[in-house]
Amino acid sequence: MGQEGPQTLLESIGSGGGKIIDGVLEGFGGVVLQPMRGAEKHGAKGFGTGVVRGLTGLVFKPFVGVADGLSDVLKGVEAGVGFGGDEGGDGWEGGIGGGSGVRVWRPRRAVYGRERAIRSYNGEDAAGSRLLTRTSMGKAR
């Protein structure tokens, strides 16, 4: 199953900008097209209904375009930053988002004892905890 929508921040900005422009153009186009369509189907009454629909679209369609555009941009930001969990499990190789190419600068903080107490960061303890986690030696039996 492939992913839908923009995959990078640059693609998302392009896609989002296009949706904003589409919303604005649809809003302005509706002011002209809706009265014409209404008049074709229902005469003068349809023309009046078309004017109301066109003006309503003029107000709302740009907002919908902006919302869709921002949604695409935020999807691109999410893809670029790599939210979605650390698939590597140890907080070191996978980086942010598990393999997004961003490296974490230090191993995860070690937790201590059965209570999983947190203390000040200690690089040696963190490296030892990482080693135990990677080799499965630290699992309780």
Whether residue 12 is found in the same domain as residue 63: yes
Domain total in the chain: 2
What's the distance, Cα to Cα, between the start and end of the chain in Å?
38
The answer, as to whether pTM is greater than 0.85, is no
Q: What is the structure's pLDDT at 102?
A: 55
Whether residue 73 is found in the same domain as residue 91: no
Q: Which domain holds residue 92?
A: 85-141
| pLDDT by position in tens, the chain (length 141) | 445 666 677 888 888 889 999 999 999 999 999 999 999 999 999 999 999 999 999 999 999 999 998 888 888 877 766 554 444 444 444 444 445 555 556 777 777 778 788 888 788 888 887 777 777 665 544
Whether residue 68 is found in the same domain as residue 41: yes
119: part of which helix (H) or strand (E)?
none
Do residues 19 and 68 touch, judged by C-beta distance below 8 A? yes
Residue 66 class from Cβ within 10 Å (0-12 exposed, 13-18 middle, 19+ buried)? Answer: middle
Whether residue 14 is found in the same domain as residue 70: yes
**Nearest Cα residue to 7 out of 102, 84, 75, 83:** 75
**Nearest Cα residue to 25 out of 58, 49, 71, 69:** 58
Whether residue 4 is found in the same domain as residue 24: yes
Whether residue 95 is found in the same domain as residue 53: no
CB under 8 Å, gap of 24 or more: what pairs does 38-41 form? none
Tell me the average pLDDT of the chain: 77
Which residue, of 48, 64, 81, is where some domain finishes? 81
Which residue, of 58, 81, 104, is where some domain finishes? 81
Whether residue 99 is found in the same domain as residue 45: no
Whether residue 9 is found in the same domain as residue 68: yes
Whether residue 65 is found in the same domain as residue 122: no
Whether residue 12 is found in the same domain as residue 76: yes
